[in-house]
Amino acid sequence: MGLLENIKLAMVSLLGNKLRSILTMLGIIIGISSVITIVTIGDSLASSITGEVSGMGARNISVNLEQKSSQIEDESEIIEEFEYVEPTEKDNITDEMLDKYKTELGNEIIGISISENGGSNNLVNGKNKASIEILGVNDGYFKVENINLLTGRFFYSKDINEFRCIAVVSDMFVDKYFGKEYTNEEALGKSFEITINDNIVRVYICGIYEFDKSATLGYYSSNEEISTSLYMPISVVKKLNNKLNGYSSFKVLPNNEVDVEDIVFKTNRFFEEEYKKNEYIVPVAYSMESMIKAANKIINSVKLAISAVAAISLLVGGIGVMNIMMVSITERTKEIGIRKALGASNFVILIQFIIESIIICIIGGIIGILIGIFFGSIGAKLMGYSAKPNLASILIAVGFCMSIGVFFGYYPARKAAKLNPIDALRYE
């Protein structure tokens, strides 16, 4: 008997007992749908995190002041002792250190980004209003943070050294503050007053960048007014904030040809050497890539653990398939006897019932996959992520269903194949 005929016989048997077949498939459906739902939500979450961090600059390296940990050697083990000490200005990274760091790494890095928070302002110009977040930045900030300049220019090192009160503003700020009276080009050179640390400063627009609502640089304030970043030379903001001595953090953009983790290692080694006389504080580098890998590792571990629990229902479903196949063989004992009397071999009987078992599992698996993708997509969207069904997990699920069919169908099929045709014909 050919494969096609066995499939037809299996379908006839399943359709002849629809309710029993559906109940048999239920364990498979629940198990597969649960696993696919979990994997879909997990992959959607991982993809979203990767996309968001990549948008922030996946290759960027963050360097921040952190506390050193002191080690005490016990007789049996090494114990880390930790006593928190607040970093002060004397612990900050100096311009001299940064110049030395840039010289040491040379062409391995594209630029260094430094920023200083200057506070927020709500500006009024007649009937027009605009909200801004003031950031003092260095000349390398725009390259590292990938700011898209529409017109004008960014800062030069001369602007920073000479404490020039100039600003790079967003195109949205120009529209809101000037009420669309000027084009971006016409707004260049215009001035307005801002307040930093109770100091009123008149700044002149030297450049205009493109504001992206999805970027982390702007956000919705409590009155739903969109606030955009206004960039000034970092020297001006630090002077107005009375913070002239160094920096507590900065970012590094490595060259595309170099390994990010290698730059992280070199950065940590450099500052460990520079801060070896500092008893409590040292700058520590972290890469966005390592953060992405760590986040994905956690998500995958959680996904695997929950999927393993959900997969228990597949085992229950498999036992259900075995049970129903045993019942089916008992009901069809006479049919098996007739087929064997007509010359059907043990192998033909074995294959017939294994195929029937596989079809039950595959149909249940397909229904489970569709339900899993549906609920997984809904779950991902409710959590605010774009749905991302995993093709590999779907293919594995189908293969797993076939394996369950073979594994749990083999024993009943083998029992049917070994039936004595005379005893089977006498069975009532």
Q: Distance (Å, rounded) from C-alpha 211 to C-alpha 203?
A: 20
Name the pLDDT band for 219 (thresholds 50, 70, 90).
very low
Which residue has tokens 């607040």? 86
Q: Distance (Å, rounded) from C-alpha 363 to C-alpha 134?
A: 60
Mean pLDDT of 404-410: 75
pLDDT tens readout for residues 294-303: 777 887 787 7
pLDDT recorded at residue 400:
74
Mean pLDDT of 277-284: 90
pLDDT recorded at residue 71:
53
Which residue has tokens 């206004």? 230
CA proximity to 203, closest of 146, 140, 135, 150:
135
Q: Distance (Å, rounded) from C-alpha 373 to C-alpha 367?
A: 10
pLDDT recorded at residue 187:
94
Q: Which two tokens stand for residue 108?
A: 């391995």
373 has pLDDT over 90: no
E-state strands within 158-315: 166-170, 191-196, 199-209, 219-220, 226-233, 249-254, 281-287
Q: Which two tokens stand for residue 174?
A: 């120009």
307 has pLDDT over 80: no
pLDDT tens readout for residues 156-200: 999 999 999 999 999 999 999 998 889 999 999 999 999 999 999
239 has pLDDT over 70: yes
